[in-house]
Structure 1
Amino acid sequence: MAGRNSGLRGASIAAVILSMGFLSACQQEPGAGSRERETPAQPVVTEAVAWQPRQVKVEAVGTSRAYKSVTLYPEVRGEVVEVSLKAGDRVKAGQAIVKLDDRDQKLAVELAQVNLEDAKRLFSRYKRTRSSGSVTESALDDARSAVERARLSLARAQVALDYRRVKAPFDGHIGITNIDPGARIDPSTAITTIDDRSTLLVTFQVPELFLGQIKEGQSISVATWANGNPDHQGQVIDIDSRVSPDTRTFAVRAQVDNSADLLRPGMSFRVTLSMEAGRYPVIPEVALQWGNDGAFVWAVQENGTVSRVPATVVQRLQGAILVESDLPEGQSVVTEGTQRMREGLPVTNLAGL
C-alpha cells in the first residue's frame, strides 16, 4: 500500500511540473500564436484611377440649304425679250438674267431728262435776272421746285426702266427656268432660283437632354448617305430658342464649307456631334468585378489594405471603363490578383517592387 501511494504521489508531482513548464513557456513567448495567425500581404498589380470627361456622340439627320437662296419674281408685268443665262451658270450680283420689253420706259426716261434740262435752264435764267428785279422771289422758288420735280420724275422713270430687267441679288448659281423669250409674265410668275452654295446651312434636331451642352462654334461632322464619300466638317452657328413639345427636340443649325462645290442645297446628311457630359473616374476594364449586389472594384487604402468600392458603369472605352464611383483621382485599384481579395486584406504592389 505504501509503495502504491508513493507512486501516485510521484505521478501527480510530474503532472504539476509539466503543467508549470507549459505555463512558463507560454509566459516566456507571449503573442507567438498571434504572429503565426497574421495574414501575409498578398502580391497584386494596381493602377491609379484617372478622371476624364464622358464623350457622348449624337447622330442626327440634317437637311441642307444654301447659305443664300432666293426665287426670283419680276417687279412688273411684261413680255420677255431676252433670257441671258441658263441653268447651272454662275451669276454675279447685279447681273441681268431676264429682260422685258422696255421701249416705253426708255422713252419715258428720255422725256424726263428733257424736262429736267428745261427746268434747270429756266431756274438758271431766273437766278441771273434776279438782281434786276424782273423776277420775283415767288417765281424763283417755283422754278427751283420745278427742277426738283423734274429730277424726281427722271428717277421714277429710271426705276421703271430698271424693273424691266430681273437681276441677281447676289453671287450664285442659276437654277432651272421655264421662261422663254416671247412669254408674258407678271409679279406672280416665278422665273428661276439663285443659290449661293459656297457654304451650306445644315439644320438638324437634337434631343432636349443635350440642351445647354451644345454651344455656338462647336464642330460637327456631316456625311452624305453615299458609301465612300468623305466626311465634311462644319460649325454650329444657331441654336433654336425653344423645344418642340411634340418631338422633345430642338433645332440646331450649322454651316458647312462647300468651296469645292461637291454638295448641293437640299441634300440630307448624317450629322455627328461629339460632346462632353460630365467627368467620371476611368478604370482598367480588368479592375471591374461583379458580385450579387452589382459591380465593384478593390481599392487600395492608405494602410495597405483593400476595400470593396461599388461602381456603376457609365461608358465603356477601349480597354477601360468610365464608372460612377467614390474613387478620387490617383486612387489605386487592383487589376491583377482580384480573385484572392477580401475586405481588409493587406496587399503589396508587385509593380512597385
Structure 2
Amino acid sequence: MIRISLFVSIICTAILLNACQHKKAPTLKQDAVVLADVIVASQQAISNIVEANGTVVSNESVQLHPEASGRITYLNVPEGAVVRQGTVIARINDADLQAQLAKSKVQLDLAIKTEARLKKLLAINGINQSDYDSALNQLQSIQTDIAYYQALIDKTVVKAPFTGTVGLRLVSIGAYVTPTDVIASIQQLNTLKIDFTLPEAYAPLVRKGNRVTIAMDIADSARQSAVIIAVEPQANTITRNLKVRASLQNTKVNPGSFAKVYVDAGANKHAIMVPTNVLIPNDQRNQVVVIKGGKAKFISVETGVRQASNVEITNGINPGDTVVVTGVLFAKPDAPLKVRSVKKLSDLK
C-alpha cells in the first residue's frame, strides 16, 4: 500500500508540473497609454525684473592709523558723533622732534646772518666766492632739516580726513601705538552706495545714470530709487558677473547691511510661460514634454525670466504647443500620451 501511495503521489506531482509549464504567463501591455494634464502654450506679457543681492557701503570710509610710533598724549574720539574735516583725533609724543626742530631754528638764525654778512663782503671782493657758497649751502641745509623735522612732527598728529561719523575708540590715552594700530574708524553717511553684481548678459541695463530700485532688509522698509554711478569695466573671470555701484540718497542704514536690488529689464509682451515643474534637467539644457500626434516628444528648451512658480521659455516651444504638466515622469519618447484635461497657467499656481 505504501508503494502504491508513493506512486500515486509521483504521478500527481508530474501532472501539476506539466500544467504549470503549459500555462501561459500574462503579457504586459507594452503600449499602455499614460494620462496627462496639459497646458496650451500661449504668449503673454510679463514684467522682466532682475533681482540681485547688494551691500550698503558708506560714501567714504577709513580706519584711522597713526603714521608714527609712540605714546598717545592726546585723544579725541567722540564715539558715534560727527566730526569736521581736519579735527585732531590724536597726538603722538613728539618731544624729541620738537627739540630737534628748535635746535635747527637756532642754527638757521645764525646761518641767515652769516650768509647776509658774507654776501656784502663778496660784493666788495672782501672774500672768495667759495667762502660765500659754503655759507649759502649751510643755510639751505638747515632749512631742509627744519622741513624734515616738521614733516615728522606732522605725522604724529592724526586728523579727520573728511567730515563724518566716528566709530568706536579702540585705544586709550597713554597707549603705545604703531602704524599698524587702529585708533578708530570714520565714515561719511550723508550719501550711501549700494554694491551689487549682475551677470554680464545684463550689461546694457546697468549703464551709468540708469535707475534701480532698492529694498533694505528690514520689515517696514519702503523701496527706494538709486542711481547707478559706476560699473566695473572688467567682468569677474570666475563668475562672469559685473560689479555695479549705485548711489542712494536720504536714507539711514548702517553700512554693511544687506539690500535687495531690482533692475527693470523692460516688459516682454510675447513671453511663453510654463510651470517650473515641467522642466526636466539635462546635462546641457532643460527639456519639456509636448504631445504631437498623440505621442510624447522631448523638446530641448532655453529659459528666461523666472517667477515664483513659472518660467519663461525663450526657445524650443511655439504658441499652440501642448505641454505636459502632470505625468511627466511616466512619459517616454514616442510613447502614447492621452490628454486627461487642459489646464490654465493660473490654475497651477
Looking at structure 1, the residues matched to 122 and 229 of structure 2 have their Cα atoms a distance apart, in angstroms, of 65
Q: Determine if the alignment matches structure 1 residue 263 to structure 2 residue 242.
A: no
8 Å Cα contact 2:194/2:245 also seen in 1: yes
Looking at structure 2, the residues matched to 110 and 276 of structure 1 have their Cα atoms a distance apart, in angstroms, of 70
Looking at structure 2, the residues matched to 194 and 85 of structure 1 have their Cα atoms a distance apart, in angstroms, of 10
Task: State which of 83, 88, 104 in structure 2 corresponds to 1:91.
Answer: 83
Q: Offset of 1:94 from its aligned partner?
A: 2.1
1:130 alignment partner, SS class: helix
Instruction: Say if 1:208 and 1:131 are closer, same or farther in 2 by CA, change over 3 A.
Output: closer
Q: Determine if the alignment matches structure 1 residue 251 to structure 2 residue 243.
A: yes
1:177 alignment partner, SS class: coil
The equivalent of 2:227 in structure 1 is 235
The equivalent of 1:184 in structure 2 is 176
Q: Determine if the alignment matches structure 1 residue 108 to structure 2 residue 91.
A: no
Q: Determine if the alignment matches structure 1 residue 204 to structure 2 residue 196.
A: yes
Q: Determine if the alignment matches structure 1 residue 142 to structure 2 residue 134.
A: yes
- Counting matched residue pairs gives 239
8 Å Cα contact 1:73/1:187 also seen in 2: yes
Q: Offset of 1:244 from its aligned partner?
A: 3.5
1:209 alignment partner, SS class: helix
Q: Offset of 1:216 from its aligned partner?
A: 0.8
TM-score with structure 2 length normalisation? 0.61
Q: Offset of 1:73 from its aligned partner?
A: 1.4
State the 4+ residue runs in structure 1 displaced beyond 3 angstroms.
Answer: 242-248, 279-282
Looking at structure 2, the residues matched to 116 and 56 of structure 1 have their Cα atoms a distance apart, in angstroms, of 74
Looking at structure 1, the residues matched to 178 and 136 of structure 2 have their Cα atoms a distance apart, in angstroms, of 38
Q: Offset of 1:248 from its aligned partner?
A: 4.1
Alignment of 1:332-347 (within 5 A): none
Identical columns (%): 25
Letter in 1 for 2:85: A
Structure 2: stretches of 5+ with no match in the other structure: 1-44, 272-290, 293-303, 306-313, 315-349
Letter in 2 for 1:206: L
1:3-31 per-position Cα deviation (integer Å, ceiling 9, x unaligned): xxxxxxxxxxxxxxxxxxxxxxxxxxxxx
Letter in 2 for 1:99: R
The equivalent of 2:263 in structure 1 is 273
8 Å Cα contact 2:217/2:257 also seen in 1: no
The equivalent of 2:163 in structure 1 is 171
Structure 1: stretches of 5+ with no match in the other structure: 1-52, 283-291, 294-313, 316-323, 325-353
Instruction: Say if 1:211 and 1:129 are closer, same or farther in 2 by CA, change over 3 A.
Output: same
Alignment of 1:1-353 (within 5 A): 55-244=47-236, 246-258=238-250, 262-276=252-266
Larger radius of gyration: 1
TM-score with structure 1 length normalisation? 0.61
Looking at structure 2, the residues matched to 248 and 137 of structure 1 have their Cα atoms a distance apart, in angstroms, of 71
Q: Offset of 1:95 from its aligned partner?
A: 1.7
8 Å Cα contact 2:205/2:263 also seen in 1: no
8 Å Cα contact 1:214/1:275 also seen in 2: no
Q: Offset of 1:246 from its aligned partner?
A: 4.2
Instruction: Say if 1:242 and 1:132 are closer, same or farther in 2 by CA, change over 3 A.
Output: closer
Looking at structure 2, the residues matched to 257 and 147 of structure 1 have their Cα atoms a distance apart, in angstroms, of 55
Looking at structure 2, the residues matched to 85 and 214 of structure 1 have their Cα atoms a distance apart, in angstroms, of 40
Looking at structure 1, the residues matched to 208 and 96 of structure 2 have their Cα atoms a distance apart, in angstroms, of 53
The equivalent of 1:29 in structure 2 is none
Letter in 1 for 2:204: G
Instruction: Say if 1:54 and 1:245 are closer, same or farther in 2 by CA, change over 3 A.
Output: farther
1:284-310 per-position Cα deviation (integer Å, ceiling 9, x unaligned): xxxxxxxx99xxxxxxxxxxxxxxxxx
8 Å Cα contact 2:77/2:169 also seen in 1: no
